[in-house]
Amino acid sequence: MHSQLVKYDNEQALDECLQQLQHYPSLVSIKEIKTLKKRVKQATLGGRFIVQGGDCVEMFYDCNENVINNKLQSAVLVKSLFEVLTKKPVTFIGRIAGQYTKPRSSLFQTINGEEMHSYRGDLINSADSCVEKRKPDPKRLLAGAHHAAMTLNYMRTTLASSEQSFSLDLFPWVKELTHELELDAEAIQQNYAQGRKQSLIDQDEFELFTSHEALNLHYEQGFDKEGKDGLKYNCSAHMLWIGARTLTQDNPLVHYLSQIENTIGLKVGPDIDPEDLIKIINTLNPNRDLGKLVLIGRFGVSEYQSRLPKILAALNEADIKICWLSDPMHGNTFTTTQGIKTRCFNTMLSESSGMATLLDQHQNHLGGLHLEFTGCAVTECINGHFVVSEQDLHKNYSSAIDPRLNQQQFVEFILRMAKHIQSFEAFDYCEDQFAQELFTSYRQDIDDIDDHLINLLATRRKLSRAVGELKSALNINIFDPKREKQILVELIEKGQAKGFNQQWLERLFLEIFQDSRAIQSAVPGSLKTVG
Ligand code: PEP
Ligand code: CO
């Protein structure tokens, strides 16, 4: 297999584009990259589950509100359902905002008698079957950055906006699924019925992370930024992964990734030699940072049982603790008799659930899933409760490369995996050192939340003082018992929906109100009656 590096004909045009790319601002922040590393570490230690997913390859054409929204809604839904069922926090990492390249086994192909470059993703060339358009075009590096920025911006604003409520009502079929799977539908419904807008998430609760396959070194290096710590970060995405076809010690991509701080995924297929894998792991993560690497097993349903134990033994021998995700997609692709590339839901589920069981039997655990899905109602993979049959495949097959789970199949997959994982014994913290690390990590999160609370209270105080000044100018009493009572009732209702006790909520907010009144009393000319 070749290294998949891209060669451009016009060096000067490439240089101009690279200069422009290096001049562009970051797409993601170093702080977010560090947060993802914390999350991956928690998953490695058994305290979190990762769902990584999105299209096999994103087309620039997919940079569209509807497509992005459907994907985001699916992600919010599975996070929320998995958390209710397993009580384990979920981190979503999109294959999005940069998943614009594909490795190809052959870099050239012949179409209608003409030899041309194979389509390698919108970041490199056009999918049109035209010799000229198939040539790698460096301007596409810039177009990739623009599309990634728009996609990210739309996701961030959508998540932050109350316009878009992520309500369970949007997915009426989830009820049928929970019934079919005999899941605790009551708990799920209740969880959502409580929020006033029946939103699946609260603002701020959904941490958005992006990832893509590192393939085009020009694009990746264009986003290198130096952190305050003097270390190098790739600010095009929070996480990058190396595909199964490019995972060799001598690939320049491996060398590049060894120099950056981001979390790196390694696609581990049936052909990998465990000793080679250990060498690559040591190259990429000499400091054994638990948030640095994830192994994404994509063995195929008939291979994982014979391959995985050998790798686990080698990792054990080398004393390497690492987070495992299961990618049940790439080892289970087949072509139907009609010549359509597809994957079967049941086969994929067998690989992922089997891998989870096998890891459990080896005193390890599955840290997450890596799935190709779209939020749209495509018919690309067969089976699932809302059956897609081989005859249905032609109805809405729009993937440019690999077949994806549609929204219902994606949610069903996650629900079935949640149920399967629930059946294991409670996570066994047999290794004290790891329990201690997880404990420290959770405590850091609590410290961060406390910082956030202090900042919010300080912002509230500033506003309160401004209101105090206006009250003084307008000759309004500082103490307004009617308003206090009314907002307290509303806060208690919201707080109780989250499981807080009424008296505690009263005590908390009365303290805050009292502080507010004290601040307002200090305003010259204020009316300090009662309070
Ligand atoms: C992919 O994730 O789209 C891919 C090509 O996977 P792999 O490298 O595992 O074949
Ligand atoms: Co794919």
Domain count, the chain: 2
Cα atoms in the Cβ-side hemisphere of radius 13 Å centred on 359: 27
Question: For atom 6 of ligand 1, which residue has the closest CA?
Answer: 243
**Pair 465, 405 in one domain:** no
**Which of 398, 429, 460 is where one domain is finished?**
429
**Pair 379, 492 in one domain:** no
53 token code pair: 């997913």
**How remote is the CA of residue 313 from the centroid of ligand 1, in Å?**
24
* Residue 186 within a domain: no
Ligand nearest to C-alpha 327: 1
**Pair 44, 152 in one domain:** yes
Instruction: Give the number of other Cβ atoms within 10 Å of residue 163's Cβ.
Output: 7
418 burial type by CB count under 10 A (0-12 exposed, 13-18 middle, 19+ buried): buried
- Residue 92's contacts (CB-CB under 8 Å, 6 or more residues apart) are 50, 51, 52, 53, 75, 78, 79, 206, 207, 208, 209
187 burial type by CB count under 10 A (0-12 exposed, 13-18 middle, 19+ buried): exposed
Give the amino acid at 148.
Answer: A
498 burial type by CB count under 10 A (0-12 exposed, 13-18 middle, 19+ buried): exposed
Ligand nearest to C-alpha 373: 2
**How remote is the CA of residue 219 from the centroid of ligand 1, in Å?**
19
Pocket test of ligand 1: the residue of 245, 251, 271 to mutate, having most ligand atoms within 8 Å of its CB, is: 245
**How remote is the CA of residue 15 from the centroid of ligand 2, in Å?**
30
Alpha helices (H) in 208-361, listed in sequence order: 217-222, 252-257, 274-284, 304-317, 345-361
Tell me which residues of the chain have a pLDDT lower than 70. 1-2, 162-165, 189-204, 426-431, 528-531
**How remote is the CA of residue 57 from the centroid of ligand 1, in Å?**
10
Q: Which residue has the tokens 């001049």?
A: 23
SS3 344: strand
Atom of ligand 1 nearest to the CA of 267: 9
Instruction: Determine the pLDDT at residue 190.
Output: 66
Domain with 142, as residue range(s), is 11-164+201-429
**Pair 454, 391 in one domain:** no
* Residue 341 within a domain: yes
| Cβ-contact 85, 422 below 8 angstroms | yes
pTM score of the predicted model:
0.93
Question: For atom 5 of ligand 1, which residue has the closest CA?
Answer: 243
**Pair 144, 68 in one domain:** yes
**Pair 507, 383 in one domain:** no
Question: For atom 3 of ligand 1, which residue has the closest CA?
Answer: 56
* Residue 26 within a domain: yes
Atom of ligand 1 nearest to the CA of 401: 3
Instruction: Determine the pLDDT at residue 432.
Output: 75
Q: DSSP letters along 388-452, please? A: --GGGTTTT---SSS--B-HHHHHHHHHHHHHHHHTSPSP----HHHHHHHHHHHHHHHHHHHHH
| Cβ-contact 1, 245 below 8 angstroms | yes
**Which of 396, 429, 462 is where one domain is finished?**
429
Compute the chain's Rg from CA coordinates.
26
Atom of ligand 1 nearest to the CA of 95: 2
**Pair 116, 244 in one domain:** yes
Instruction: Determine the pLDDT at residue 271.
Output: 95
Letter string b/e over residues 82-121, b meaning 16 or more CB atoms within 10 A of that residue's CB: bbbbeebbbbbbbbbbbbbbbbbeeeeeeeeeeebbebbb
**Pair 515, 491 in one domain:** yes
* Residue 252 within a domain: yes
At residue 264, φ and ψ (nearest 5 deg) are -120, 135
* Residue 342 within a domain: yes
**Pair 367, 463 in one domain:** no
DSSP-derived secondary structure letter, 164: S
* Residue 193 within a domain: no
CATH number at residue 443: 1.20.59.10
Query: Rounded distance, CA 209 to CA 36, Å?
Result: 7
Atom of ligand 1 nearest to the CA of 269: 9
Query: Rounded distance, CA 374 to CA 407, Å?
Result: 6
80 token code pair: 């929320």
Instruction: Determine the pLDDT at residue 196.
Output: 41
Instruction: Determine the pLDDT at residue 428.
Output: 59
Pocket test of ligand 1: the residue of 4, 55, 330, 348 to mutate, having most ligand atoms within 8 Å of its CB, is: 330
**Pair 256, 328 in one domain:** yes
Atom of ligand 1 nearest to the CA of 57: 3
* Residue 383 within a domain: yes
**Pair 378, 405 in one domain:** yes
Instruction: Determine the pLDDT at residue 195.
Output: 47
**How remote is the CA of residue 366 from the centroid of ligand 1, in Å?**
19
* Residue 15 within a domain: yes
| Cβ-contact 21, 139 below 8 angstroms | no
**Pair 425, 442 in one domain:** no
**Which of 429, 463, 496 is where one domain is finished?**
429
Signed CA dihedral, 304, 310, 315, 319: sign only? positive
CATH number at residue 322: 3.20.20.70
Q: Ligand 1 pocket: which residues have CB below 6 Å?
A: 56, 103, 213, 243-245, 267, 298, 330
In this structure, the chain runs to a length of 531
